[in-house]
Amino acid sequence: MSAVIAARRRHGWRRYVNGLSLATLLTALFILLPLYWLLISSFKTPVNVGSSPPQYFPNPLSTANYTQAFVHYGFGTYFRNSVIVTVVATALVLVLGTLAGYGLGRLPMRGKSSVLLVLLMISVFPEIAVVSPLYLLMRDLGWLDSYQALIVPYTAFNLPFAIWILRNYLLGIPKEMEETGRLDGASPLRTLWSIILPQALPGLFTAAVFTFTACWTEFLMALTFNSSNNYRTIPVGIALFGSPNVVPYGTIFAASAVAVIPIGVLVFIFRKSVVSGLTSGAVKG
């Protein structure tokens, strides 16, 4: 045993330069290099964005692309639309998802495993299968180019996963908690709100981060339902920058940097929740 351990201990420079550290570095570069390219290209002058050979560091540094994105292309409107749609849909998912997750996780209902299986199947359904009937429906309702045209389908498509996540967390809370509430004479909703929910906070964070990310990045429905300039979200706005023949990469990357930052910060803060969501989504089913 001791021989095995001794062989593993490395000395001198080999403590830092070994297969493990090289592989880690390679992984980090694989992820970071394209992101580095996006960020520095956004700070090149619009002319230097198309220079050949390319500049590996912007010289001179310029914020012209940012001005172009916000002033000329009205990126501020797209950003505002994305925030409104994403925040409202996430809030709706959390409220409806918590109630349903509580019912399916902790209350004695017949047939709840069938309900959960149907939800699981809906959560992996391809968007393309529903986008045309939804488009026709929204057209008849006069909903095309409106916030609800995205808020309603985003809420519906993210609810199944959120219900699964919340149900898994709520299942893990001791059964005696409800008794406490009932002995105090609290209503079921009151018990859920003040006794059960505080214990399920990690699950709420996970559901929130996943829904937020999904809404923030969604493209197909946003493109189909809300293509007018006033209601475009960030992905649609960025995809439709410029003309068919000219792709204004500088502007695109300036807008992209602004779009990536909120989600990057959110994911960094809640990285534990995200990882637990990914794993309970995949490992527990």
Partner 1 sequence: MSASVTLERPPGAPAAIVGRPDAHRRGLARLGWGFTLPALIFVGLVTIFPIVFSIVMSLSNVGLSASGFALNGFTLHNYDELIHAGVWRYALGFTVGYTVITVMVELILGTAIALVLQRLTRGRGLMMALLLLPWSMITVISAELWGYIYEGTYGVLQAISGAIGLGRPVFLGTANGAIVSMMVADIWKTTPFVAIIVLAGLVMLPEDVYEAAEVDGASGWSTFWRITFPLLRPTLALAVLFRILQAFGLFDLPFVLTGGGPGTATTSLAVLGYKVMFEDLEFGPGAAVATSTALLVLIGCMAFLRVFRAQAGSEEAA
| 224-253 positions binding partner 1, by CB under 8 A | 224, 234-236, 238-239, 247, 249, 252-253
Q: CB of residue 267 vs partner 1: minimum separation in angstroms?
A: 5
Chain centroid to CA 14: 40
Q: Which of 13, 16, 30, 57 binds partner 1 (CB under 8 A)?
A: 30
Q: Which of 10, 15, 37, 67 binds partner 1 (CB under 8 A)?
A: 37
Pairwise CA distance, residues 101 & 107, whole Å: 10
Q: CB of residue 42 vs partner 1: minimum separation in angstroms?
A: 11
Q: CB of residue 67 vs partner 1: minimum separation in angstroms?
A: 19
Q: Which of 17, 87, 107, 261 binds partner 1 (CB under 8 A)?
A: 107
If binding is defined by CB under 8 A, does position 38 make contact with partner 1? yes
Chain centroid to CA 100: 21
Alpha helices in the chain (DSSP H): 2-8, 19-42, 64-67, 75-106, 112-123, 128-141, 148-171, 176-183, 188-191, 201-217, 220-225, 234-239, 249-269, 271-282
Q: Which of 64, 83, 84, 115 binds partner 1 (CB under 8 A)?
A: 115
Q: Which CA distances in Å does 34 have to 30, 37, 49, 60, 271?
A: 8, 5, 15, 21, 21
**Structural contact between residues 89 and 215, judged by C-beta atoms closer than 8 angstroms:** yes
If binding is defined by CB under 8 A, does position 91 make contact with partner 1? no
Q: Which is nearer to partner 1, 50 or 76 (CB)?
A: 50
Pairwise CA distance, residues 201 & 85, whole Å: 23
Q: Total residues contacting partner 1 (rule CB under 8 A)? A: 99
Q: Which is nearer to partner 1, 32 or 61 (CB)?
A: 32
Site for partner 1 in 59-88 (CB under 8 A): none
Q: Which of 4, 6, 183, 246 binds partner 1 (CB under 8 A)?
A: 4
Q: Which is nearer to partner 1, 60 or 124 (CB)?
A: 124
Q: Which of 10, 15, 17, 34 binds partner 1 (CB under 8 A)?
A: 34
Q: Which of 17, 23, 61, 261 binds partner 1 (CB under 8 A)?
A: 23
User: How much is the CA Rg of the chain, to the nearest whole Å?
Assistant: 24
End-to-end CA distance of the chain: 39
Pairwise CA distance, residues 114 & 285, whole Å: 14
Residues in Cβ contact with 98 at an 8 Å cutoff, skipping those fewer than 6 apart: 166, 192, 197, 200, 204
If binding is defined by CB under 8 A, does position 106 make contact with partner 1? yes
Site for partner 1 in 130-149 (CB under 8 A): 130-137, 140
Site for partner 1 in 158-217 (CB under 8 A): 159-160, 163, 171-172, 188, 213, 216-217
